Every structure is written in structure tokens, then in C-alpha cells.
Amino acid sequence: MSDLINGPNDEELRVGVYICHCGSNIGGVIDPKEVVEFAEGLPDVVRATDTLYACADSGQRLIKEDIKKYNLNRVVVSACSVRMHEPTFRAAVSEAGLNPFLMEMANIREQCTWAHGHDREGALEKAKDLTAAAVAKTRFMTELDMIEVPVTQKAMVIGGGVAGISASLDLAEQGIETILVEKEPTIGGVMAQLNKTFPTMDCSI
Ligand code: SF4
């Protein structure tokens, strides 16, 4: 097996997989227990189970307890979009002593049961594939630290057309020092070349 397939480190992986029902959002289209059965057969998975609402206190508690009970060093939550609950599950695994960046989510709701509610079999297969991909990805995950970097409140807008001028003014109104860069000798872009604009037929600038 190549280094790429092994991942960046040699540690023994112990992956816990949690398949969320989200009430009927997921559980009304596919049977999460079938995804659990599938996940149990994936490499490195030592624990797979379903949960009615993974983000609820009970769901988070289950994950936290399992991390200790099964000595998990990676967690996969097959549920909703990362935009919805990635911070929730990162915080949960962190509270159980795991680096928060060793948690991966598979989106089996927005990208699966919501999108393919008319095709239950297809949705089930996709939920399995998304879960398998998330489990495979855990092999490449390493502990990361959050860092803070100072941000300079200064912006550069490239292009002095109407959009660029408008963006520059918006930024300046927020108190951000803004530099507008334009390659032509004048600003205004295409609009500046029109002598009248519909519907007022006024001068364009
Ligand atoms: S984790 Fe996401 S998919 Fe699961 S119950 Fe909460 S909102 Fe629904």
C-alpha cells in the first residue's frame, strides 16, 4: 500500500461513525441502520451506530462517551451540512479530549436525502458512499491547532468599473482604507462610454 493510501501517519486508527436520522429528514427517506451496517464493514471503523438527533444533547453525549469507551481517535458524523453543525461536533469531540480537527462530517441530508427524496435506493447508496469517503478521509487527518493572525484593515479593489467603484465606496464607508486599481486612464468602465442609459436616458455616470 502506498504512503498516499496509508495517510500521513502510522497510528492505528479507531474510527467512530454516527448516522443521524434528523427525525424524518434523513430517516424518512433511508434507513440509517443500513448505513450503520455498511459502515461497520469499513476499514478502521471500531464503532458505528445511529442516533435520532446527533446534534441534540443526547447525541453529543453518546459521541463523547464513545470516544472514551472505545478509545476513538477519529469521529465521522453522517448528518447535515458542515455549515450547520461542524462547530457543534468539533466542540463535542474536543470536550471528550480529542483534537477538534479529527472529526469529519458527511452530508447525507442536504446532499442526499433532501436532494434525492424521490429515489430512496439511490439516496441510500449515496449515503453509504459519502460515509465511506468521510471515513477514508480520516486517514489523512492530523491534529491541528487554532491560531490567531492579525488582520490589517485595508483592502484593494481591482477594476474601476461600476462594480469596483461601488465596492470601494462600501468598504470606505465601513472605515476600511481602500485602494482602487484600474489599468485604464479613467474609471467607470463600460458605463463611462455610454452617453445615455435606459430608462431615464440620463448621462450614465
Ligand atoms: S445533526 Fe444535523 S442532521 Fe442531525 S439532527 Fe442535527 S440538524 Fe439534523
Q: What percent of the chain has pLDDT over 70?
A: 95
Ligand 1, residue 81: give the atom nearest the CA. 2
Say if residue 6's pLDDT is above 70.
Answer: no
Q: Which three cell numbers stand for residue 33?
A: 441502520
Q: How far apart are CA 66 and CA 148, in angstroms?
A: 31
Show Cβ contacts of residue 2 under 8 Å, excluding neighbours closer than 6 positions: none
Q: In the prediction, which pLDDT does 190 show? A: 82
**Helical spans, DSSP H, in 7-107:** 24-27, 32-40, 57-69, 82-95
Start and end residues for every CATH 3.40.50 domain found in the chain: 12-138
Q: What is the pLDDT of residues 40-77, one digit of tens each?
A: 999 999 999 999 999 999 999 999 999 999 999 999 99
Architecture (CATH level 2) of domain 12-138: 3-Layer(aba) Sandwich (3.40)
Q: Is residue 63 in contact with ligand 1, taking CB distance under 6 Å?
A: no
Protein residue closest via CA to atom 6 of ligand 1? 55
